[in-house]
Structure 1
Amino acid sequence: MIKNEVIIVEKKEEGKRLDSFLHTRFTNISRRMIQQSIREGNVLLNGKKAKKGSIIFSNDKIEIIRLPEAQDLVPVANPNLDIEILYENEDFFALNKPAGMPCHPLAIDEKETVVNFIIARFPKASNFGYSVREPSILHRLDIDTSGVLLAAKKENTFNKLRNLMRTKKIKKTYLALVLNEMEKDIVIDSPLMHHEKDKRKMKVLQKKVKSKKALTSKKILEAKTEIKRVEIFKGYTLVQAVILTGVMHQIRCHLASIKHPVAGDLLYQSSKQKKQDFLKPKRHLLHCAEIVLPPEVTGKWEVIKSPLPKDFREYIEKLEKK
């Protein structure tokens, strides 16, 4: 927890938004948590309550009364949540994550996430994971992405499954409805990196990176997505996307890079593509349909499936087949 800290804005820092400036200064704190602290009056600008979009100038005085860090965000159990369990044994389980639900909380008062459900259903699973705020879960699905989500009941199982993911032995298959009629199947292996100007996004490196050192750096991430057409409609294509790597926004970014962004994906669609997306879905239409686990996990191949959710099916039914 950051308390009672004062920052004087330097000349080179003026012109930035207050929330953006603080997020740059405190990289381990989410922008959402910073915005919440500003909204609650725990961050003052020149002695007054500020807005998240307040522009800062040279010699401005920023007073941080209270700003929670990631380690302060300890999720709590929410027994009122109900998420379908697709698979379960004594070591791990798989959930059918609904669209619109975050995997883990990003604010102290957030209680409607997958992690809040897991802690309520499997209390011992709260003692291990990638971080305090995201225990048990082995991979993330974006808020609007639905489908299979793996989580562990035991720490040794968590470590085992995490290692299998790192060594690309766990296959994840997604279904996505994308803009435009795709002419052929394609394998996209362009490396990804965080967007320099918009930290919410990833970007594709169009040129191949020859340096192994660059590929293993934190900035450039190796990624491979196998895209196969499932059904072609007027203006859209239903595709299957198979990944062994798990880079943030991998499928969304790769598909956008070949001019077939996911329907409803306002983050990766261009202005022109947003107009072309006549379905205007309320979320991006991406669904984790299947995860295949190798025999190292249970002694046999395990295939865990999640059917397309109702809203996804209804959007498809509106389309005219080619």
Structure 2
Amino acid sequence: MNSLNTIIAPKNIAGQRLDIFLAKKLKISRSQVQKMIGAEQVFVNKKLPKKPGDNLTEGAVIEIKKAKITIEAKEKKKAAQVKFDVKIITATPDYIIVEKPTGMLAHPTMAEEKNTLANFIIKKYPEIKKVGDDPMRPGIVHRLDKEASGLMVIARTQKMFNHLKEQFKNRTIEKEYFALVHDPMPRNWDEINFPISRSETSDRMAAIPTGEASRGKEAKTEFLVEKNFVNFSLIRVKTHTGRMHQIRVHFLAYNHPLVGDPLYFQKKQKRVWDKKLARLFLHSTKLSFTDLGGKKQTFESPLPPELTEFLKLLR
């Protein structure tokens, strides 16, 4: 049985839980890792771990094996055959701008996943396969949730990848989103700056109370109300950091969760409208960065038809 992935545990993670380390490394949830361990897909130094919480040692060899075919796997395989409509906004020698549709992963979270934006890109532009610092994320320098839609920039050369990565590091890239949240906003503009960390009780990310900021990573989200409805607010959102699920986590903590969010919602919230929409109302609508020639490039994407039509139902 061949390994799909082999990882050597670095010195700085000695003593860390196996499931936590793999969740961060593979960019998947801890429960997904635990399922892999339970399915005997994960080996540490050629042996099955006793439990997901086993502590790692420096230099430990972690091997991830191919999963056995199950009914659940067959269903996922069937879902993976869905045809996604990826729109190429522009393609230059240095970068590509695309519109990712909702429901499509930006990149594989496991080696066998093929129906992702990354796979689409390398099939259409094979040279991108060697661009970047992670073979599962070729040319990809930023995240966009599976449930969200909208603009992404893909580097076509290593030079552009490094250039974009530096801009993200320095927070000079501008990203704007349209989001619809539950309940009218009490103010037209605000900034949310709760630190964000992985939840200690679930697979979700969580906003950390101000007094416990040392437990989380800095996160900053700004919003402006475009239109208030009786039970909702359409807002334009700017992110100044790029944490996992940042917008969704921040607005849940702000007591205005996003409409259609299957993960971050309040139990008391009436979710009739969420079911009518059947997707997350979050769309990456504007993206600005500097190209290799030092010129600022700005791209915009209108709301997709299903979101526009949904707004017409509101009052």
* Shorter-normalised TM range: 0.7 to 0.9
Judge conservation of contact 1:33–1:107 (CA < 8 Å) in 2.
Answer: no
Aligned to 1:8: none
Residue 283 of structure 1: how far off its partner (Å): 1.9
Aligned to 2:78: none
CA distance in 2, matches of 1:22, 1:106: 17
Q: Structure 1 297/188 Cα, relative in aligned 2: closer, same or farther at 3 Å?
A: farther
What pairs with 1:246-285 in structure 2 (closer than 5 Å)? 246-273=242-269, 275-276=270-271, 278-280=273-275, 281-285=277-281
Structure 1 or 2, whichever has the larger Rg, is 1
CA distance in 2, matches of 1:204, 1:249: 14
Judge conservation of contact 1:32–1:107 (CA < 8 Å) in 2.
Answer: no
Q: TM-score, normalised by structure 1?
A: 0.73
Judge conservation of contact 2:197–2:207 (CA < 8 Å) in 1.
Answer: yes
Aligned to 1:232: 228
Q: Does 1:91 align with 2:91?
A: no
Q: Which moved more, 1:25-34 or 1:240-249?
A: 25-34
Q: Structure 1 250/127 Cα, relative in aligned 2: closer, same or farther at 3 Å?
A: same
CA distance in 1, matches of 2:21, 2:92: 43
Judge conservation of contact 1:186–1:226 (CA < 8 Å) in 2.
Answer: yes
Aligned to 1:112: 115
CA distance in 2, matches of 1:306, 1:249: 20
In the comparison of the two structures, how many residue pairs are matched?
A: 265
Q: Which moved more, 1:164-173 or 1:128-137?
A: 128-137
Residue 99 of structure 1: how far off its partner (Å): 0.2
Question: Which segments of 5 or more consecutive residues in structure 2 lack a partner in the other structure?
Answer: 6-16, 44-50, 53-62, 67-80
Residue 108 of structure 1: how far off its partner (Å): 3.0
The amino acid of 2:311's aligned partner reads I
Q: Does 1:125 align with 2:128?
A: yes
Aligned to 1:35: 35
Question: Which segments of 5 or more consecutive residues in structure 1 lack a partner in the other structure?
Answer: 4-20, 45-54, 57-65, 70-77
The amino acid of 1:196's aligned partner reads E
Aligned to 2:69: none
**In structure 1, which of residues 205, 211, 220 is the aligned counterpart of residue 209 of structure 2?**
205
Q: Which moved more, 1:263-272 or 1:171-180?
A: 263-272
Q: Does 1:195 align with 2:190?
A: no
CA distance in 2, matches of 1:207, 1:241: 25
What pairs with 1:1-322 in structure 2 (closer than 5 Å)? 1=3, 23-24=19-20, 26-27=22-23, 28=25, 30=28, 31-32=31-32, 35=35, 67-68=64-65, 82-184=85-187, 185-207=189-211, 209=213, 214=214, 220-273=216-269, 275-276=270-271, 278-280=273-275, 281-294=277-290, 297-320=292-315
RMSD: 3.0
Q: Structure 1 186/121 Cα, relative in aligned 2: closer, same or farther at 3 Å?
A: same
Deviations along 1:290-317, one digit per CA (max 9) or x if unpaired, are 00113x5443321111111111112111
Residue 202 of structure 1: how far off its partner (Å): 2.8
Residue 106 of structure 1: how far off its partner (Å): 2.1
CA distance in 2, matches of 1:162, 1:233: 38
Residue 206 of structure 1: how far off its partner (Å): 3.0
Residue 222 of structure 1: how far off its partner (Å): 1.3
Deviations along 1:71-121, one digit per CA (max 9) or x if unpaired, are xxxxxxx9x865211122110111100000001112333211000011111
Q: Which moved more, 1:101-110 or 1:234-243?
A: 101-110
Q: Structure 1 282/81 Cα, relative in aligned 2: closer, same or farther at 3 Å?
A: closer
Query: Identity, % of aligned pairs?
Result: 30
Tell me the SS of whatever aligns to 2:268: helix
Residue 146 of structure 1: how far off its partner (Å): 0.2
The amino acid of 1:247's aligned partner reads R
The amino acid of 1:166's aligned partner reads K
Residue 43 of structure 1: how far off its partner (Å): 7.7
Q: TM-score, normalised by structure 2?
A: 0.75
CA distance in 1, matches of 2:192, 2:285: 20
Tell me the SS of whatever aligns to 2:121: helix
Judge conservation of contact 2:261–2:274 (CA < 8 Å) in 1.
Answer: no
Residue 24 of structure 1: how far off its partner (Å): 4.5
Judge conservation of contact 1:176–1:240 (CA < 8 Å) in 2.
Answer: yes
The amino acid of 2:261's aligned partner reads D
Structure 1 stretches (4+) deviating beyond 6 angstroms? Answer: none
